[in-house]
Amino acid sequence: MVTTKKIKFNKTFKEANNSKKRYRILKGSAGSGKSVDIAQDYILKLSDPKYQGANLLCLRKVDVSNRYSTFAELKGAINVIYGDKAEHYWYVNESAMTLKSNVTGNEIIFRGVQHEKDREKLKSINFAHGKLTWIWIEESTELYENDVDILDDRLRGILDNPNLYYQITMTFNPVSAQHWIKKKYFDYQDDDIFTHHSTYLENRFIDEAYHRRMERRKHQDPDGYRIYGLGEWGEVGGLILTNVLIHEFDINASMFDSTINCQDFGFNHANAILNLGYKDGDIFVCDEIYEHEKDTDELITIANERSWNKRLQMPCDSAEPDRIQMWKKAGYRAYPVKKGKGSVNAQIDWLKQRTIHIHPKCLNTISEIQQWKWRKDEKLNVYLDEPVNIFDDAMAALRYGGAHYMKPKGITFIN
């Protein structure tokens, strides 16, 4: 007998959770709750003896990104559903990044498709019990159509359990209306295809501060709001920083010429603190603290608990001298970044001249940099040399980090 808590789902996902169509495609805005729902849906199904012999493959473009997204979401679902009995019902192998139901023996594995060798490995996936029946592709707009075709070919053969079925689930925030996913699944009618649309407005678990942030974006960045707030297809043009690589790298300070912390203050909008490394002219975003509605004392406690290095220079928003002073009293080397006419664009220009490496665990920095763009003159249909001032908290911290290195007489390394 499996003992679970009573789970509260968002009603908008009921039809999606019940769908057994081969392609279950969930498009939605940021904060719509689609990934949380799918994670809980899979944990419940894979724990159910009715689905004995089912196994799940979770996929991201970059393999390691799973650890901070699908793997984390599924572990969170296990804890929500089973509480303090989670270890009794599910075995979690952190190092190998696999999950196994102790009730059914059903398994979950995680892979990527960034390299050709990754794609080849997908062709030889096997499980101790049962077959590969379900595939979850998170942020599926990252993948090429051919990547999904390779996966689709893996779902074949007679299933011994009559309750089982083959299914590919995709979850993503929409991007360009020219994306192949729109053409293949949304513009083409087929009995094998189930499509779903959700927004943060239907997510009853979203916090009020997030609603306020989205309301600001509605007025300050209408085009971005249509895509990231309402989950509509559009054109993501005018991106500010495209010189970005998201990959796993050694974040030890000894690997860099210099390391610093940098901070943009916030309360209703995020307070963002980044740990940056500088090496051979490139910037590396190694870690982040990204919190809403936390006062300075709480943020200092978080930084202390995570053992952030107090000896590092910490350039901060100069508009908050009192908060800078509190960080200094706590032992951090916080100081205000000098601002002036053209300083924002100068910092952006400096960042654009080097490669920005981001560790996959810095999810909020990744999310911001992928949607940080220039303001658009809708009447003239041109982008202005002015950043959209919304959802840019980590970007502000990144700019302050760049300002630290923009010394008149070259770069001074301080550790």
Global pTM value: 0.78
Q: Kindly tell me if the per-residue pLDDT of 357 is higher than 60.
A: yes
Q: What's the CA angle centered on 344, arms 394 and 342, to 5 degrees?
A: 175
Confidence bin at 291 (pLDDT 50/70/90): very high
Q: Kindly tell me if the per-residue pLDDT of 125 is higher than 90.
A: no
% of the chain surpassing 90 pLDDT: 67
- The 3-class secondary structure across 37-95, one letter per residue, is HHHHHHHHHHHCHHHCCEEEEEEECCHHHHHHCHHHHHHHHHHHHHHHHHHHHEEEECC
Residue 225's pLDDT is: 87
Enumerate domains of the chain plus CATH numbers: 11-202 (3.40.50.300), 244-405 (3.30.420.280)
Give residue-wise pLDDT tens across range 184-202: 999 998 999 999 999 999 9
End-to-end CA distance of the chain: 56
- Average pLDDT for 177-190: 92
Q: What is the DSSP letter of 142?
A: G
Q: Kindly tell me if the per-residue pLDDT of 410 is higher than 50.
A: no
- Indicate the helix (H) or strand (E) that contains 353: none
3-state SS, residue 383? strand
Mean pLDDT of the chain: 91
Confidence bin at 5 (pLDDT 50/70/90): low
Give residue-wise pLDDT tens across range 264-275: 999 888 999 999
Q: What is the rounded distance in angstroms from the CA atom of residue 235 to the CA atom of residue 177?
A: 6
Give residue-wise pLDDT tens across range 320-340: 999 999 999 999 999 999 877
- Average pLDDT for 393-399: 97
Q: What is the rounded distance in angstroms from the CA atom of residue 208 to the CA atom of residue 109?
A: 35
3-state SS, residue 208? helix
Confidence bin at 411 (pLDDT 50/70/90): very low
- Average pLDDT for 132-154: 93
Residue 3's pLDDT is: 56
More confident residue, 114 or 415: 114
Q: What is the rounded distance in angstroms from the CA atom of residue 111 to the CA atom of residue 68?
A: 13
More confident residue, 175 or 24: 24
- Indicate the helix (H) or strand (E) that contains 146: helix 145-154
Residue 4's pLDDT is: 56
Which residues lie across from 336 on neighbouring strands? 316
